[in-house]
Amino acid sequence: AVHRVPLRKGKSLRQILKERGLLESYLQQHPYNPAAKYFPSF
Amino acid sequence: ASTEYLQNYLDNEYYGSISIGTPGQQFTVLFDTGSSNLWVPSVYCSSPACSNHDRFNPSESSTFTGTNDSLEITYGTGSMTGVLGYDTVTVAGLQVVNQIFGLAETEPGDFFYYCPFDGILGLAYPSISSSGATPVFDNMMSQNLVSQDLFSVYLSGDEQSGSFVLFGGIDSSYTTNGITWIPLSAETYWEITMDRYVSVGGQAVACTSGCQAIVDTGTSLLAVPNSALSNILSYLGANSNGEISCQAINSLPDVVFYLNGNAFPVPPSAYVIQSNGYCTLGFEAIDVPTEAGELWILGDVFIREYYVIFDRGNNRVGLSPLA
């Protein structure tokens, strides 16, 4: 009863947006704060 | 309502496949030890943003059961709302029956079109699951689908393949350097105590009176408190954007974390990220509420150096050095 899920390593969303010239405007409109994941109300 | 903050997944690079329903409908998901809910887009989301993703169609599943409970997924450019439902979820051949999950319905921001994954499968504790939804691994345990109440993760640094999540066991070929077990300090996230300072080149740079750390496959970098980040950047000779000369990598020291009395070094080959001839440090600032104390997030930069065992049966994390 051991089951393995292979993970594939691909481009991140940041890389994709950067390649399309969309990253800067996205980050300007939506400042990124890693804490939002753990403290949503913060 | 359940809330997922997708902007936190901007840097993630590792994805796997699951299927939902009978017959199974395939989805690419991020296996995230930093959250507890499962959600995927559904056919009710008809916006162009959703058109680039696989969408779950309840009417094509003979085992689907709907609910009236709502779900909200917050993206950087808006939120996607949906409903919760139950169906069979198949992960690595394991059939989890009556698994609750979110079916995203309404239009998110346009950038979701480019998102490299369809949804997220959370692997943290039920105590942080939105809407009280039972996490997938809890159902795997209660339905006796796994021989041990644990799962383990290996993230390969260089290869596009080779990384995996192993449900129900430990791959002994990844633990030849021994396993150090660290008890959890809270059964919410995979949260552990760093019991000594964090050191860079033997110098204490942060966490001098102990602090908390979360082991999170859903965070790519090492997220460190604002105050610690400036110390680390300064000590390593990086500018305020974390940029550093690629030639400096060979002379940089290890960053060392102390967990349960043991040192866990992260070498510069792991924490310096090279891209297109430029090098940046794999650290980012995390600004947490004061009452939360000093919190670090040990993301993929750390996990690539250690085979990590997430032991729900004993509420502990096991780390085995890969080098």
The reply to whether residue B11 touches residue A12, judged by beta carbons under 8 angstroms, is yes
Q: What does the block give as tokens for B34?
A: 């930093």
Chain A residue numbers touching B73 (CB-CB < 8 A) = none
CA dist A24 → A17, A18, A29, A31, B96 (Å): 8, 7, 9, 10, 41
Q: How many CB atoms lie within 10 A of CB B267?
A: 15
Chain B interface test: which of A3, A20, A25 (most B C-beta within 10 Å):
A3
Is the pLDDT at B6 greater than 80, yes or no? Answer: no
What is the structure's pLDDT at A42? Answer: 57
The answer for residues whose C-beta is within 8 angstroms of residue A42's C-beta and 6 or more apart is A35, A36, B288, B289
Q: Of the candidates B35, B37, B5, B38, which has an alpha carbon nearest to the alpha carbon of residue B21?
A: B38
Strand partners, B317: B182, B310
pLDDT in tens, B272-299: 998 888 999 999 998 887 777 889 999 9
How far is B61 from B295, CA to CA, in rounded Å? 42
Residue B145 scores a pLDDT above 70: yes
CB B194 within 8 A of CB B257: yes
pLDDT number for residue B91: 96
**pLDDT, tens digit (0-9, with 9 covering 90-100), for B9-47:** 788 999 999 999 999 999 999 999 998 989 999 998 888
Taking alpha carbons only, the member of B297, B154, B279 closest to residue B222 is B297
Chain A hits for B120, CB-CB cut-off 8 Å, are none
Note whether A21 contacts B: Cβ–Cβ < 8 A. Answer: no
* ipTM of the shown complex: 0.92
Identify the bridge partners of residue B210 per DSSP, sorted by sequence position.
Answer: none
Whether B32 is catalytic? yes
What would the pLDDT profile of B228-244 be if each residue is shown by its tens digit? 899 899 999 999 889 99
Task: Determine whether the interchain pair A34/B77 forms a contact, defined as Cβ–Cβ distance below 8 Å.
Answer: no
Of B13, B160, B165, Cβ closest to residue A12: B13
